[in-house]
Amino acid sequence: MNPEIVRVLGYIVAIIAFVALNAAMLVWMERKVAGHIQRRIGPKEVGPFGLLQSFADGIKLMTKQLIVPEGADVPLFKVAPMLVMIPAVMCFVTIPFSEQLAARNINVGLLLIFAIASINVFALLLGGWASHNKYAVISAARAVSQNVAYEIPMLITAITVVMFTGTMNLNEIVMGQAGGFWHWNILPIAKNIGMVVLMPVSFLIFFICSMAETNRAPFDLGEAESELVAGFHTEYSGMGFGLFFLGEYANVFIGCSLAVILFLGGWQCPFGLFPGVHWFLLKVYFLIFVVMWARWTFPRTTFYGLLNLSWKILIPVSLFNLVLTGAFIKVF
Amino acid sequence: MGGYFKEIFDGAHSLVAGMGVTLKYLFQPVVTEQYPHVAPTMPDRFRGHIELVANPETGGTLCIVCGMCQKACPSGCITVAGEKVEGVKGKVLTKYELDFTKCSLCGICVESCNPGAITFSKDYNLAGLRKEAFIYDLKKRLEERKR
Amino acid sequence: MIELASDKQKETFVLNMGPQHPATHGVLRVKLVMDGEYIVEAEPVLGYIHRMHEKMGENRNWAQFMPNTGRLDYLGALSYNHGYAAAVERAAGIEVPERAEYIRVLTVELNRISSHLLWMGAYLLDLGGFTPLLYAFDDREKILDMLERVTGSRLTYCYFRFGGLYNDVDEQFIGEVKAFVARMRSRLPMYHTLVTKNVILMERLKGIGIIDADMCRRYGVTGPVARGSGINFDVRKNEPYSVYPEFDFDVPVYSEGDSMARYMVRMDEIEQSLRIVEQAVNRLPEGPVMAEKVPKVLKPPKGDYYHAVEAARGSFGVRVVSDGTNTPYRLKLRSPTFSNLSLLAEVARGVTVADAVAFMGSLDLVIPEIDR
């Protein structure tokens, strides 16, 4: 057997298994974090510390009947959940878990991730439109305008990192942050003193935009608009809903891992000692914890507040940041 | 221009302060009771359904079948019946039926009982499969408690 | 208010915010005629939980109606007990001993605090913040446990009787109340940090659902809703009853008239109720808790009597018409939330649904009280 094919197949299986396991773990983590913030224990009956709860929920979802509403556009209705999972799994191709653990080392890895992840929006729109439900369409349209508005600052801040490191290859970006945390892109003390002021701002903007892109935390108008309607996935039951749910957690993982790779040093150790996949996972799960922490603290923004935040605050600040980054790179 | 930045800064500060509060509570112990594993104790005045008080001397009831509780109940849940027995002064209780499906736990019956023959129980684990399970025969319950 | 496009043909659709809904706090149906995202017309449809309490009042005798009052507004049941008991005492000319009056005020204010805490938690839940609900319930549990030790019930109290109370309080209760006051005072800054000063919440509440004082007068709005629009009317100060004149407390009034003002009024009321509770517990007199000569079968003299109390939601009034027998001839309950809800039809025009939900939450609706 061609060792290349074996390697590719191995990676495919590993990535799909990782995505599924990760989603199960994240559901458990979310419920536990939510529980303890609210001074109660989360799940505890099923398995030790409730670890098997997500598997029980998964089995329950799989055994439910898949209902297609009357008047819905059947092919689009069925394709939408799959369209949520496909970009999420594909983005894992270029993410370097450690120096050797990357499915493909693509030279324009960052660009690839952004390109593929935008298909996610398409899936929301299809899901809402094909449901033949007035309220799903409204909320899908809102989700689309939210996603478009928050793509822009995210891309702009990614450009500042690319300008700073000079490459779009994710593996090389991480390797450029070797040493200790003073080499990391968030506080590049050892590399370029002028950027110490600007890079944290970039990180903050990137983080907020990734939360908004994945419809999480205070920006979850699409799904939790249970004030009146139940969002774009109201008509989905059983595993259709399950796929939307898993896709959201996979997207959260990708957003946070991008933030870690671009700003926090990827799989590098903070003190330059033992780099490896464990540091990567630690940092990503810490950022995911921050995302969950923010979700359980804040109420939802209004739709216009959401758009105002992006167009009136994040985009001007990130553009300004971009110009200053260019200037500082030249000067220092 | 200065107002724009001040607004952003104040907003961001309030968000961070809020997150600080939840972080503090994340690490504090839980305040919930783990119910099926740890059963709570009811306070003395807890209002469960009423029950007959056992007479400390004879072991029977203290009820004199005056019917005050039946008249006082707003929902009409109590049915009392008694008979005259040879050699005993006053009536003897034969049936005391409480229809708990209608009871509102107001306590007017307990208040109106002169000899103090009924009181609130501490029963809170009430579940049944049929409505008839909640038509209590309080005399039978008293006898079951004596055993 | 947003200018709706009136020159092109409006395609409106009817949206039913049905009787079962997470944000209406009870079985309230609101028929919304919507133009895209904006509400053109809002019509509340009531009666889904009408249980005919006023008719029941005509079929039961005076003392037997007391448990019904606890079921009207179950969150503030003690004020409703108080309103009914005070109305009948005014009719029958019964004097309540001082200790009973103090304990009545003490427990009513504790109940008001628990009602406001639940309101705050549920309001934040509607807006999407799930955590303050559980913090509020943690505090509320302490109050419920205290009152359960004294009255036997946690929610639908039937504690007051004509001429006093069902039973007395003991030393442990006094100690628990003092500890609770200290604990609640230390928790209030936490609520202000987590909720009130949060920029997202301020943006959602400021300028939403503005009610001016004239609208309040036209609809008969009382309680925190009116006090958030600048009207300084509190039954405890304007028509004093029981022993309220002996306590030193303020009535918070804000004049902006938006949801944020109503929110702040209720948060300040929690602080003022804590003051009243503290003074009551420190000055509790000794004595009996039941008046001496209350007839077992009460027959108030013929006449028409009215008494109003300040419930958590506004001015709750009881009108008793007695014809000298042992059952009321007519028992009318004036529900504050009914008048408050009638504002919805006027205020909800031209706002988005999310803002309408935020407005309804700030009115503090309890539907069983509207429908009785």
A41 neighbors B31 (Cβ within 8 angstroms): no
Say whether both C26 and C102 belong to one domain. no
Q: What is the pLDDT of residue C273?
A: 93
Q: Is the Cβ pair C128, A218 closer than 8 Å? A: yes
Q: Is the Cβ pair A296, B22 closer than 8 Å? A: yes
Q: Is the Cβ pair B22, C131 closer than 8 Å? A: yes
Rounded alpha-carbon distances, angstroms, from residue C43 to A321, C138, C307, C351, C367: 50, 36, 31, 14, 15
Which residue among A224, A298, A303 sits closest to C200, beta carbon to beta carbon?
Answer: A298
Q: Is the Cβ pair B22, A36 closer than 8 Å? A: no
For residues C199-207, give the mean pLDDT: 88
Residue of B nearest to C152 (CA): B46
Measured distance CA(B77)–CA(B94) in Å, rounded: 17
Measured distance CA(B133)–CA(B125) in Å, rounded: 13
Measured distance CA(A228)–CA(B144) in Å, rounded: 53
In a domain, C371, yes or no: no
| Chain A interface disruption, residue of B1, B25, B30, B35, most A CBs within 10 A | B30
Q: Which chains reach chain A with 3 or more Cβ–Cβ distances below 8 angstroms?
A: B, C
Q: What is the pLDDT of residue C185?
A: 92
> Is the pLDDT at C306 greater than 90, yes or no?
yes
Chain A nearest C-alpha distance from C23 (Å): 6
| Domain edge (last residue) among C50, C65, C85 | C50
Chain A nearest C-alpha distance from C185 (Å): 20
Q: Is the Cβ pair C23, A227 closer than 8 Å? A: yes
In a domain, C358, yes or no: yes
Which residue among A299, A302, A305 sits closest to C129, beta carbon to beta carbon?
Answer: A299
Q: Which residues, in sequence order, are bridge partners of residue B97?
A: B79, B137
Measured distance CA(B137)–CA(B98) in Å, rounded: 7
Which residues of A are less than 8 Å from B22 in CB distance?
37, 293, 296-297
CA B13 to chain CA centroid, nearest Å: 48
Say whether both C22 and C153 belong to one domain. no
Q: Which residue has the higher pLDDT, A182 or C162?
A: C162
> Is the pLDDT at C34 greater than 80, yes or no?
yes
| ipTM at complex level | 0.87
Q: What is the pLDDT of residue C9?
A: 57
The answer to whether A226 faces chain C, any CB pair under 8 Å, is yes
Element (H, E) at B17: helix B2-26
Say whether both C32 and C166 belong to one domain. no
For residues C100-120, give the mean pLDDT: 93
Measured distance CA(A21)–CA(A15) in Å, rounded: 10
Domain ranges of chain A: 66-331
The answer to whether B7 faces chain A, any CB pair under 8 Å, is no
Q: What is the pLDDT of residue B35?
A: 85
Contacts of A103 by beta carbon, 8 Å cutoff, 6+ apart: A8, A11, A15, A92, A93, A94
SS3 state at A122: helix
Longest dimension (CA), chain B: 100
Chain B nearest C-alpha distance from C190 (Å): 7
Domain ranges, residue C223: 55-363
* Per-residue model confidence as pLDDT tens digits over C246-296: 999 999 999 988 999 999 999 999 999 999 999 999 999 999 888 888 888
A50 neighbors A44 (Cβ within 8 angstroms): yes
Q: At residue A256, what is the residue type?
A: C
Please tell me what DSSP assigns to residue A219: G
Lowest mean pLDDT among A27-41, A133-147, C111-125, C301-315: A133-147
Say whether both C42 and C152 belong to one domain. no
Q: Which residues, in sequence order, are bridge partners of residue C160?
A: C165
Q: Which of residues 29-88 of B touch C (CB under 8 A)?
A: 31, 43-47, 72-74
Q: Which of residues 30-69 of B touch A (CB under 8 A)?
A: 30-32, 34
Helix, strand, coil distribution of chain A in percent, nearest 5 = 65, 0, 35
Q: At residue A264, what is the residue type?
A: L
A140 neighbors A125 (Cβ within 8 angstroms): yes
Q: Which chains reach chain B with 3 or more Cβ–Cβ distances below 8 angstroms?
A: A, C
Q: Which residues, in sequence order, are bridge partners of residue C30?
A: C17, C44
In a domain, C284, yes or no: yes
Half-sphere exposure of A115 (CA within 13 A, CB side): 6
* Per-residue model confidence as pLDDT tens digits over A247-287: 889 999 999 999 998 888 888 888 777 777 888 899 999 99
The answer to whether B88 faces chain A, any CB pair under 8 Å, is no
Q: What are phi and psi of C40, to 5 degrees?
A: -95, -40
| Chain C interface disruption, residue of A37, A142, A221, A298, most C CBs within 10 A | A298
Strand pairing category for C164-165 and B50-52: unpaired
Supply C184's token pair: 């609640």
For residues C31-36, give the mean pLDDT: 84
Q: Is the Cβ pair B120, C152 closer than 8 Å? A: yes
Q: Which residue has the higher pLDDT, B52 or A185?
A: B52
Say whether both C192 and C266 belong to one domain. yes
Q: Which residues of chain A have pLDDT under 50?
A: none
Say whether both C261 and C336 belong to one domain. yes
Q: What percent of chain C has pLDDT over 90?
A: 48
A76 neighbors A86 (Cβ within 8 angstroms): no
Q: How much is the pTM?
A: 0.90
Q: Is the Cβ pair C66, B108 closer than 8 Å? A: yes
Helix, strand, coil distribution of chain B in percent, nearest 5 = 35, 20, 50
Q: What is the pLDDT of residue B61?
A: 83
For residues B27-47, give the mean pLDDT: 87
Q: Which residue has the higher pLDDT, C23 or C369?
A: C369
Measured distance CA(C342)–CA(C344) in Å, rounded: 5
Chain B nearest C-alpha distance from C16 (Å): 34
Measured distance CA(B146)–CA(B54) in Å, rounded: 8
Q: Is the Cβ pair C203, A227 closer than 8 Å? A: no
The answer to whether A227 faces chain C, any CB pair under 8 Å, is yes
Residue of C nearest to A303 (CA): C354
Which residues of A are less than 8 Å from B6 in CB distance?
none
Say whether both C232 and C95 belong to one domain. yes
In a domain, C372, yes or no: no
Full 3-state SS string of chain C: CCCCCCCCCCCCEEEEECCCCCCCCCCCEEEEEEECCEEEEEEEECCCCCCCHHHHHHHCCHHHHHHHHHHHCHHHHHHHHHHHHHHHHHHHCCCCCHHHHHHHHHHHHHHHHHHHHHHHHHHHHHHCCCHHHHHHHHHHHHHHHHHHHHHCCCCCCCCEECCEECCCCCHHHHHHHHHHHHHHHHHHHHHHHHHHCCHHHHHHHCCCCCCCHHHHHHHCCCCHHHHCCCCCCCHHHHCCCCCHHHCCCCCCCCCCCCHHHHHHHHHHHHHHHHHHHHHHHHCCCCCCCECCCCCCCCCCCCEEEEEEEEECCEEEEEEEEECCCCCCCEEEEECHHHHHHCCHHHHCCCCEHHHHHHHHHHHCCCHHHHHC
Query: What architecture is the B50-146 domain classified under in CATH?
Result: 2-Layer Sandwich (3.30)
SS3 state at B32: coil
> Is the pLDDT at B41 greater than 80, yes or no?
yes
Model confidence at C1, pLDDT cuts 50, 70, 90, reads very low
Q: What are phi and psi of B91, to 5 degrees?
A: -90, 160
Q: What is the pLDDT of residue A228?
A: 57
| Domains in chain C, number | 2
Strand pairing category for B91-99 and B135-137: antiparallel
The span from the first CA to the last CA of chain B, in angstroms, equals 84
In a domain, C338, yes or no: yes
Burial of C14 (0-12, 13-18, 19+ CB in 10 A): exposed
Q: What is the pLDDT of residue A229?
A: 57
Which residues of B are less than 8 Å from A294 in CB distance?
19
Q: Which residue has the higher pLDDT, C8 or A98?
A: A98
Q: Is the Cβ pair A39, B18 closer than 8 Å? A: no
Lowest mean pLDDT among A77-86, A312-321, B85-94, C335-344: B85-94
Model confidence at C7, pLDDT cuts 50, 70, 90, reads very low
Longest dimension (CA), chain C: 74
C80 neighbors C73 (Cβ within 8 angstroms): yes
The answer to whether B114 faces chain A, any CB pair under 8 Å, is no
SS3 state at A97: coil
Residue of C nearest to A40 (CA): C134
Q: Is the Cβ pair A228, C124 closer than 8 Å? A: no
In a domain, C353, yes or no: yes
Which residue among A35, A40, A297 sits closest to B22, beta carbon to beta carbon?
Answer: A297
